[in-house]
């Protein structure tokens, strides 16, 4: 059996401990700044670091400081749109020309990649031009090829 005196001292001790623990929690919640980053400053978007791809004129290119892709074909086609999106994704500039005769070869500003909309652009004199570009290290991509059976027939 607990005496009144012991019961009273136990009760007082429990209230004191409860008050001390609760008081320390209240002070900690009021004084902490865990949800505030003192090093964070709001920065306005100035657009200085935004990359924008350039449409390069293939005739006027003399020197380039960046890789660019040369697209040969119809500029309003789906293929041109896909190439343009890829250039934005890969951060390459892009040049477009209607046919390969419009492109003036310049050893100082060779395209990193030459993309042909169709294999029809690789006939006659254009084939020799493509071979020269390929020997100089230009990557050549054919957008669409003929049916392989037709190519096999032509080869035979």
Residues 76-113 as b or e (16 or more Cβ within 10 Å = b)? eeebbeebbeebeeeebbbbbbeebeebeeeeebbbbb
The pLDDT tens digits of the residues spanning 90-144 come to: 888 888 988 888 787 777 788 889 999 887 777 778 888 888 888 988 898 988 7
Q: 51, 49, 79, 84: which is closest to 68 by C-alpha?
A: 84
Start-to-end C-alpha separation, the chain: 112
**89, 129: one domain:** yes
Specify the number of domains making up the chain: 2
Q: Which domain does 117 fall in, by range? A: 55-155
Q: What is the pLDDT of residue 31?
A: 79
**148, 74: one domain:** yes
pTM beyond cutoff 0.85: no
**60, 23: one domain:** no
Spell out the alpha helix ranges (H) of 2-147.
4-31, 78-90, 125-135
Q: What is the pLDDT of residue 153?
A: 78
Report yes or no on 111 lying in a domain. Answer: yes
What is d(CA 92, CA 71) in angstroms, rounded to the nearest whole number? 12
């Amino acid at each position: 059996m607990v005496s009144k005196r012991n019961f009273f001292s136990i009760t007082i001790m429990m209230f004191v401990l409860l008050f001390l623990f609760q008081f320390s929690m209240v002070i900690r919640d009021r004084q902490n700044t865990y949800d505030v980053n003192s090093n964070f400053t709001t920065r306005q978007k100035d657009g200085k670091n935004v990359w924008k791809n350039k449409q390069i004129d293939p005739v006027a290119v003399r020197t380039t400081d960046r890789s660019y892709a040369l697209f040969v074909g119809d500029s309003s086609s789906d293929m041109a749109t896909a190439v343009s999106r890829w250039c934005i994704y890969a951060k390459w500039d892009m040049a477009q020309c209607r046919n390969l005769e419009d492109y003036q070869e310049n050893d100082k500003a060779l395209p990193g990649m030459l993309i042909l909309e169709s294999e029809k652009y690789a006939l006659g004199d254009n084939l020799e031009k493509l071979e020269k570009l390929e020997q100089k290290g230009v990557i050549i991509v054919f957008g669409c090829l003929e049916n392989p059976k037709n190519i096999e027939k032509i080869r035979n």
